Structure 1
């Protein structure tokens, strides 16, 4: 996959970076830990500007976040509660759980949205409660830009500074990202197995 990402960025430039970062949010196995350091390396070689790399990467991330936010917003809390009544085990939530999540998100969403953007898997998932519990769209976009800008900035600057050794970023962060994704999947499976509705 790394070779394909390299060829895509080299041929498409800023548009390719934005598209890959959009897909990374829609389809998490595409790794930002490869995309942004590679783009930063391209900037260090003079093929792209560093500012353009960071802006296009963050724009793509924001587009992916908005995709899930809009989808969840169209679903809405009322429909989610109906789904939980019928398919609570697979959602691993019942009506009480949704109420608790709503309360938690209303209290902590302002830091949870930007913080989740630096954690693989969560950067996709955090947009869903933001949409379902109707966080104002403007606030969601600002918080997403803050989180995405921080994460993409760190990765892009690392690639810029490491130059041709930009692959070291994925070498160290890749296993951690894989472990986090595996833990999230394992946690979901555990909740499905242990699920017991309060109704």
Structure 2
């Protein structure tokens, strides 16, 4: 996949970056780290500029995020509740659980969207629950753009700084991603354990 990404960017320049980064947001397995650091490297041996790469990649990233936000609007909480009503006894999830999760996102979702734009993989997927909870679109757009701009600026500048050694940055980002994923799994495990314990306590009382 890395070869396909670099060839597309080398052939189509800014347009290739825009299309790839938009696709990366809709299809997270495409690594933004490769797109952005190679884009930074390209500024050292082509007419492309760091500001141009950052601008194009940010526009493409936000465009992809808006599409996922729209998908979230189509799914929405009401439809999830209908699924839970039918299959909740198997999934061990109730409609009340869905409402609580939605209320949590309403309360903390604004900052969640911003910070999650700095985490690989999740940076794309966070747009779906934002749409499902009907988060204010302009707030979503502002915070998504802000988080994306920070992420893109860092990686493009790193790619430009190290030049032909841009793949080293991708290697370090892989380590960062793995550490983040491990922490998220641990956090999720603790969260589920506490949630089930609390739920069991409610049933006893």
**TM-score, length of structure 2 as denominator length:** 0.84
Determine the C-alpha separation between the residues in 1 that align with 2:146 and 2:133: 20
Structure 2 residue 175 is the aligned partner of structure 1 residue 172: no
Show the counterpart of 2:99: 99
Per-residue deviation, 1:144: 0.5
Distance 1:91 1:53, change over 3 A: farther
Per-residue deviation, 1:4: 1.4
Determine the C-alpha separation between the residues in 2 that align with 1:37 and 1:24: 14
RMSD over aligned CA atoms reads 2.8
8 Å CA contact 1:9–1:16 kept in 2: the answer is yes
Show the counterpart of 1:56: 56
Show the counterpart of 1:121: 121
8 Å CA contact 2:9–2:16 kept in 1: the answer is yes
Per-residue deviation, 1:55: 0.9
Determine the C-alpha separation between the residues in 1 that align with 2:47 and 2:103: 48
Determine the C-alpha separation between the residues in 2 that align with 1:150 and 1:124: 15
Unaligned runs of 5+ in 1: none
**TM-score, length of structure 1 as denominator length:** 0.86
Distance 1:175 1:93, change over 3 A: farther
Determine the C-alpha separation between the residues in 1 that align with 2:50 and 2:88: 46
The number of equivalent residue pairs is 196
Query: Secondary structure, in 3 states, of the residue corresponding to 1:151?
Result: helix
Distance 1:23 1:134, change over 3 A: same
Unaligned runs of 5+ in 2: none
Tell me which stretches of 4 or more aligned residues in structure 1 moved more than 4 Å: 89-93, 178-188
1:67-104: per-residue Cα shift (whole Å, max 9, x none)? Answer: 11101112222111111222347877431221221221
Distance 1:41 1:92, change over 3 A: farther
Per-residue deviation, 1:168: 1.1
1:46-82: per-residue Cα shift (whole Å, max 9, x none)? Answer: 4311111001111111111111110111222211111
Per-residue deviation, 1:32: 0.8
